[in-house]
Chains A and B, each alone.
Chain A
Amino acid sequence: MRKGNFIYNLAAAAVFILLEAAAVSMLGHNGTVQNLWFSKGMQRVSGAIWGGAQQVREYFMLRKRNEQLAYENYLLRLHMAREKAAAACTDEHGDIAGNFRYIYAEITKISNNTQHNYMIINRGREDGIREGAGVITGKGAIGVIDAASGKYSYARSFKNHGMSISARLGKDGAVGPLSWDGISSSGAVLQEIPHHVELHPGDTVYTSGYSSIFPPDIPLGITGEAKIVNGATYEIKVSLFEDFSALRHVTVVENLSREEMEKLENDK
């Protein structure tokens, strides 16, 4: 009985929709104002439906889009480095710009919550990665390659005790070692800045280029509070640009002249 009622109600609903649609359709054909009103309403409804569907589609494409953008960033960074080195460089080819080779990579494993952090990236010796190469992003120097296998490499994270990067205050300011503060995720300390240097909180800190690992002028972070240590040098707090917890796409930079520079250093 109930099933019969349900089927009857369903049929009634179908007949109602059919009759209403027929009546409204006739009304639309006969009344100009009504026709315009209905088509405007239909456009609004279809617009809302298509807009919603498009948003959902875009949401599911975000990962792919993100990877495309990261690769695009890598290419732009490479291009920028090439432009900078264009005047001095004589033999440019492939992914080489100036003295550096740039290799795009993705982090497959990362440790962030210990005092000795590391990351593993999906490029190894087969891709031309050697121990001692730097790992960078557009927002900072991330680490240094410690070991490389055929397809993967192990990099010591910047968030590591005892690791420091040669950094410069501003593009042409004083140079000193920048190291992780060991406490916060985005905190670092710039040391050995002579006390006669005029400091402005909010200044940008860049890589100096005085190391054989990282190219110069990579932005690292902005300066904060400063204090004088031992009455001779400043110790400046630096807030890093890079969020280590959201890292995924990186670029490995290898100084092509490193061996020659190190040999010279050792011979001396």
Chain B
Amino acid sequence: MKVSQHFGLLYCLLLLAQVILSNFCQLGPYVMLSILPAMILCMPISTGTIGCMLAAFASGLCVDWLSEGLVGINAAALVPVALLRKPIIRIFLGEDLITRGESFSFKKNGTIKISAALISALAIYIGLYVFLDGAGTRPLWFSLTKAGVSLACCFVLSLIVMRHLMPDDRKQEGQR
């Protein structure tokens, strides 16, 4: 079975993991854990922006409904990540990747470039999430602290997730 065929299944499993994370892994008011931006970023390059946005919306709503959060908050924060996915890949990983429709991997593109793309996606998502969650009631220092701490935690978690989502890296791990 081709490695890419596993993506849909893996995506669903990770969505389930995110629901569990949201429900049972509360680390206090300053931390929110999410792997959703990494999942969107790792979607096959051939997936169009509209398809990506629909998937992001559905995933966000699914997590919102199945966890204790506000319905719509994850969807609202995740759709812009899907919209900006291709520009992010274009900036950090190069135009060629999109032209050729290739998938990216740590092995091929390097950890630094992928980390930069991941941080950008996470920053958009977390920024919007904290902004919508606070709804103008939280002080700026609180929002900034929450965004900073969450970004650091989500980055580490997302790196692990991405290693399992990228086809080339999975193949490499399989060969070991």
Residues in chain A within 8 A of chain B (CB atoms):
8, 11-12, 15-16, 19-20, 22-31, 33-34, 36-37, 40
Contact = CB atoms under 8 A, between A and B. Distances in A.
Contacts of A31: 70, 73, 135
The 9 closest A-B pairs by CB, nearest first: A26-B72, A27-B72, A23-B76, A37-B135, A23-B75, A30-B71, A23-B72, A33-B135, A12-B49
B54 interface: yes
A15 B79 CA distance: 10
B135 A19 contact: no
Interface residues of B, number: 22
Q: Interface majority SS on B: helix, strand, loop or mixed?
A: helix
A22 B56 CA distance: 13
Contact of A20 (B49, B61, B80, B135): B80
Interface string B30-68: 000000000000000000111001100100110010000
Nearest to B60: A23
Contacts of A29: 71-72
Q: Interface majority SS on A: helix, strand, loop or mixed?
A: helix
B136 interface: yes
Interface string B90-128: 000000000000000000000000000000000000000
Contacts of B73: 23, 27, 31
A34 B70 contact: yes
A8 B50 CA distance: 9
